[in-house]
């Protein structure tokens, strides 16, 4: 059966914007030392503070800052500052929906000159459940490993649950790197997956698998999640019904596939295809692995179609697979399009 979750609350993140001293050339300055950046971030993160500062001569010069984002919009509320100690500094809060991409900061200090530099606006990163510059959190993870019968390698099926606690913002273009570590903390293999969007206030069940060149036991997963941006909530995900976990015909002790019905419950849009991401749990609620599937059926509103997801489940013992949690990445088409 499909697994439903309800979440409340949010994740707090401390800001630590790393930036190198910028030495962009001054335009119209009397000398290279008349005006220079003392702090310019290389990256800034949606929903967190950002700061810019300059050193300027002579003392007492009035400077202004203008910030233009990737979509051409400007940051409001950046007032002129008199550099009483030879320093002018600005701090502002980057909005949750600030345009992702390259932003341009321009400082103008009258006769002392003008400086321009760029920084990158991004959504954020979370590493193994420790939040840093991101709203997303890793709420659960697990895996199963199975030695290959035909060579000296092995296969790993894994599941990761990502949670977006924001009540109003969909996470966009999420990259998930999974490293498989041995008991000595060495990386045996890596797997990267991109999730187009994770809806506001929801969890995403990310399933996958990897082939390892050896049968060295995997001790733990190291997970790095990066989010490009956040956008106002618009994502709708279709419903899943009649889910069934099936054993392999050729190897009955192992999971072969996850089957069910996908329902287009959108009021007007046509569902043209869907990517299925599945995480499997044992009877005690621990993640034992996961996998993926696809559905290429055109579904008008109110209709359904059978799916069979078959990729990635073979390392999971069938006796350990009790519950399937399924997340759907849908593609919709407007009526008459």
Contact status, residue 291 vs residue 278, Cβ threshold 8 Å: yes
Please tell me the predicted confidence (pLDDT) of residue 10: 33
In a domain, 5, yes or no: no
The CATH number covering residue 56 comes to 2.60.40.1930
When pLDDT is averaged across residues 35-52 and rounded to a whole number, the result is 88
Question: Does residue 193 share a domain with residue 72?
Answer: no
Query: Does residue 19 carry a pLDDT above 50?
Result: no
Mean pLDDT across the chain: 86
pLDDT value at residue 128: 61
Q: How many CB atoms lie within 10 A of CB 203?
A: 23
252 lies in the same domain as 329? yes
**Residue with more model confidence, 75 or 132:** 75
- 155-159 mean pLDDT: 98
* Model confidence at 271: pLDDT above 70: yes
Domain-embedded: residue 167: yes
User: Residues 144, 80: one domain?
Assistant: no
Please, what's the b/e burial string for 61-91 (b: 16 or more CB within 10 A of its CB; e: otherwise)? bebbbebbbeeeeebeebeebebeeeebebe
Residue 95 belongs to domain spanning? 35-122
Segment 8-34 shows an average pLDDT of: 39
DSSP 56-90: ESSTT-EEEEEEE-TTS-B-S----EE-TTSEEEE
Give residue 7's pLDDT.
33
Does 242 reside within a domain?
yes
Q: Residue 33 — very low, low, confident or very high, per pLDDT cuts 50/70/90?
A: low
Residue 32 in this model has a pLDDT that exceeds 90: no
Q: Which of 97, 122, 147 is the last residue of a domain?
A: 122
Note the Cα 29 to chain centre separation in Å: 42
* 188 contacts 181 by C-beta, under 8 angstroms: yes
pLDDT at 154: 98
How much is the average pLDDT of 203-211? 97
Is the full-model pTM beyond 0.95? Answer: no
* Residues 189 and 333 grouped into a single domain: yes
Inside any domain, residue 14? no
Which of 122, 146, 179 terminates a domain? The answer is 122
Domain membership flag for residue 21: no
Q: Does the structure show a pLDDT above 60 at 27?
A: no
- Residue-level pLDDT at 132: 47
Residue 63 lies in a domain: yes
- Domain total of the chain: 2
Q: Does residue 140 share a domain with residue 50?
A: no
Q: Is residue 25 part of a domain?
A: no
Is 166 in the same domain as 244?
A: yes
Average pLDDT, integer, range 168-184: 92
CA atoms within 13 A on the CB side of 66: 10
Domain co-membership, 134 together with 224: yes
285-294 pLDDT, tens digit each: 999 999 999 9
* Contacts for 148 with CB less than 8 Å, ≥ 6 apart: 154, 155, 215
Task: Determine the pLDDT at residue 99.
Answer: 82
Domain boundary among 59, 92, 122: 122
Q: Is residue 6 part of a domain?
A: no
- State the pLDDT at residue 130: 52
Torsions phi, psi of 189, nearest 5?
A: -165, 160
Residues 78 and 189 in one domain: no
Report, as an integer, the average pLDDT of 243-261.
96
Sort 4 into a burial class: Cβ within 10 Å, 0-12 / 13-18 / 19+: exposed
Using 50, 70 and 90 to split pLDDT, how confident is the model at 43?
A: confident
Query: Is the domain of 50 the same as that of 160?
Result: no
| Same domain, residue pair 233 and 273 | yes
Cis peptide before 58 (omega within 30 of 0): yes
How far apart, in whole angstroms, are the C-alpha atoms of residue 198 and residue 237?
10
Q: Does 53 share its domain with 169?
A: no
Q: Determine the pLDDT at residue 84.
A: 87
Q: Do 141 and 114 share a structural domain?
A: no
């Amino acid at each position: 059966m499909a697994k439903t979750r309800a979440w409340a609350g949010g994740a707090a993140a401390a800001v630590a914007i790393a930036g190198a001293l910028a030495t962009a050339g001054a335009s119209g300055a009397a000398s290279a030392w008349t005006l220079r950046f003392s702090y310019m971030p290389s990256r800034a993160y949606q929903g967190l503070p950002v700061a810019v500062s300059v050193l300027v001569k002579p003392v007492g010069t009035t400077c202004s800052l203008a910030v233009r984002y990737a979509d051409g919009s400007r940051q409001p509320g950046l007032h002129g500052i008199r550099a009483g100690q030879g320093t002018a500094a600005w701090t502002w809060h980057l909005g949750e929906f600030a345009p992702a991409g390259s932003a341009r900061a321009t400082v103008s200090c009258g006769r002392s000159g003008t400086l321009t530099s760029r920084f990158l606006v991004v959504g954020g990163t979370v590493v193994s459940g420790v939040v840093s510059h991101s709203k997303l959190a890793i709420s659960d993870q697990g895996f199963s490993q199975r030695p290959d019968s035909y060579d000296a390698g092995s296969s790993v099926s894994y599941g990761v649950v990502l949670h977006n606690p924001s009540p109003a913002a969909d996470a966009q273009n999420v990259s998930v790197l999974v490293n498989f570590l041995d008991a000595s903390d060495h990386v045996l293999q890596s797997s990267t997956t991109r999730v187009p969007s994770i809806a506001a206030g929801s969890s995403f069940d990310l399933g996958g698998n990897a082939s390892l060149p050896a049968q060295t036991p995997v001790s733990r997963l190291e997970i790095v999640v990066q989010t490009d941006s956040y956008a106002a909530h618009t994502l709708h995900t279709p419903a899943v019904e009649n889910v069934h976990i099936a054993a392999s015909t050729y190897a009955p002790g192992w999971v072969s596939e996850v089957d069910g019905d996908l329902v287009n419950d959108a009021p007007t849009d046509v569902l043209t295809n869907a990517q299925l991401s599945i995480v499997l749990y044992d009877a005690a609620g621990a993640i034992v692995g996961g996998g993926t599937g696809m559905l290429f059926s055109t579904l008008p509103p109110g209709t359904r179609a059978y799916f069979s997801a078959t990729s990635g489940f073979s390392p999971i013992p069938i006796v350990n697979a009790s519950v399937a949690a399924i997340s759907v990445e849908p593609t919709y088409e407007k009526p008459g399009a």
